[in-house]
């Protein structure tokens, strides 16, 4: 099964919540205000978010006024176009320029952060890049051991300290070690508990400061890992992490387990942060670069 087919399969619950619920609206007849209001409600229920839903239906309203959408059968194609326009495809996460290329990963516990790091490391090593993983989540039980397993699977090196050690020191040592060994990529795991507490955010800021002392242009990517199942709570998480460390991209995991895949549109509209990676399964190859056209096609087709 190719990735597009896996994407379609993974988005089955979202398609049912979003597209199948709108099919009754696309069966001919005039497009009036009540129909557009019903469409907006369906979009919001699929976690597209009130801002993105209002923006999409507002654009459709204009197209109706301009005669570009004459009946509800035209509405489906117009909705697909507006959803595609509402999504940003960010620059891919790729090793380029100064070495090491440093990816700082953040996110709450349970979002799939360590798994995403492992899959990303494997992608880099499969393309011939050398990788060091930094076990800077020193507080969660078994976090270091989990990252060690992924390092072995990916053929990557790992820098770790004892449990409870200073996370910033681990990150610093990983970057310094990578520079000394001419390693291509460093991916840093971080703690994810209590994202509403100041102490975690201050710790992440410290890690970022320390990294930049060893490599002035680092981190080159601040990747927020978000569980799609969390729906609108993902927006709140992203806002807090973005204020603390300046998120450059989002990895949206567990899309195959939720009807809330519309959260991608909400994230783009409300935060203007591109979704760069999406996960639609357990296998390494199920973590892929996000492509807006491919995503919308998989929802509609």
User: Does residue 210 sit in the same domain as residue 286?
Assistant: yes
Which pLDDT does position 269 carry in this prediction?
A: 86
Structure confidence at residue 198 (pLDDT) = 52
Dihedral angle, C-alpha 79, 65, 271, 282, nearest 10 °? 0
Q: What is the pLDDT of residue 164?
A: 86
At residue 86, φ and ψ (nearest 5 deg) are -80, 0
Please check whether residues 41 and 160 belong to one and the same domain: no
The CATH number given to whatever domain includes residue 22 is 1.20.120.140
Give the C-alpha separation, 233 to 231, whole Å.
5
Same domain, 200 and 153: yes
Q: Which of 50, 85, 120 is the last residue of a domain?
A: 85
Whether this prediction's pTM lies above 0.75 is answered by: yes
- 197-208 pLDDT tens trace: 458 899 999 999
- Asked if residue 238 belongs to a domain, the reply is yes
Distance set, CA 67 to CA 31, 64, 84, 105, 279 (Å):
11, 5, 21, 47, 39
Report the alpha-carbon angle 88-90-94, nearest 5.
165
- What's the confidence (pLDDT) of residue 14? 84
User: Which pLDDT score is estimated for 196?
Assistant: 47
- Domain carrying residue 142: 101-300
- Taking CB atoms within 8 Å and a gap of at least 24, the contacts of 290-295 are 290/89, 290/90, 290/252, 290/264, 291/89, 292/84, 292/87, 292/88, 292/89, 293/84, 293/89, 294/4, 294/7, 295/7, 295/11, 295/87, 295/264
283 and 162 co-located in one domain: yes
Instruction: For residues 48 and 185, state if they share a domain.
Output: no
Residue with tokens 């190719």: 2
pLDDT for 195 equals 45
Domain end: 28, 51, 85, which one? Answer: 85
Q: Tell whether 232 and 194 lie within a shared domain.
A: yes
Low-confidence residues of the chain: pLDDT under 50 = 195-197
Domain CATH code at residue 185: 3.40.50.300
Residue 28 pLDDT: 65
In-domain check, residue 70: yes
For residue 173, how many other CB atoms are within 10 A of its CB?
Answer: 19
Same domain assignment for residues 71 and 144: no
Overall residue count recorded for the chain in this entry: 301
Q: Are residues 65 and 107 both part of a single domain? A: no
- Under 8 Å CB-to-CB from 239, ≥6 apart: which residues? 271
- Tell me whether residue 92 is in a domain: no
pLDDT score of 152: 96
Alpha-carbon separation of residue 236 from 241, 273, 288, 292, 296 (angstroms): 9, 13, 24, 23, 24
Number of domains in the chain: 2
In this prediction, residue 101 carries a pLDDT of 96
Please give the structure tokens belonging to residue 101. 């290329």
- CB hemisphere CA count around 137 (13 angstroms): 26
Which residue in 104, 105, 171 sits closest to 136, CA to CA?
Answer: 171
Contact 253, 116 (CB under 8 A): yes
């Amino acid at each position: 099964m190719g990735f597009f087919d896996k994407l379609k399969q993974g988005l089955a619950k979202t398609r049912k919540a979003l597209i199948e619920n709108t099919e009754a609206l696309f069966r001919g007849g005039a497009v009036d205000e009540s129909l557009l209001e019903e469409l907006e409600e369906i979009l919001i229920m699929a976690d597209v978010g009130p801002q993105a839903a209002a923006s999409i239906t507002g654009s459709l309203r204009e197209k109706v006024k301009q005669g570009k959408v004459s009946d509800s059968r035209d509405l489906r194609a117009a909705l697909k176009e507006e959803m595609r326009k509402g999504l940003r495809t960010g620059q891919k996460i790729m090793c380029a320029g100064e070495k090491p290329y440093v990816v700082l990963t953040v996110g709450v516990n349970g979002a799939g952060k360590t798994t995403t790091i492992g899959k990303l490391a494997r992608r880099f090593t499969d393309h011939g890049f050398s990788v060091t993983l930094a076990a800077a989540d020193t507080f969660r039980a078994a976090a270091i051991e989990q990252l060690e397993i992924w390092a072995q699977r990916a053929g990557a090196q790992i820098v770790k300290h004892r449990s409870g050690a200073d996370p910033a020191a681990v990150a610093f040592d990983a970057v310094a070690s990578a520079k000394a060994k001419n390693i291509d990529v460093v991916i840093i795991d971080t703690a994810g508990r209590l994202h509403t507490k100041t102490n975690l955010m201050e710790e992440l800021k410290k890690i970022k400061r320390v990294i930049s002392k060893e490599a002035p242009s680092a981190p080159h990517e601040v990747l927020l890992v978000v569980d799609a199942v969390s729906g609108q709570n993902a927006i709140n998480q992203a806002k807090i992490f973005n204020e603390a460390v300046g998120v450059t991209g989002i990895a949206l995991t567990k899309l195959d387990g939720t009807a809330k895949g519309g959260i991608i549109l909400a994230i783009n509209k409300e935060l203007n942060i591109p979704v760069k990676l999406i996960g639609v399964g357990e296998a390494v190859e199920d973590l892929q670069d996000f492509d807006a056209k491919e995503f919308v096609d998989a929802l509609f087709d």
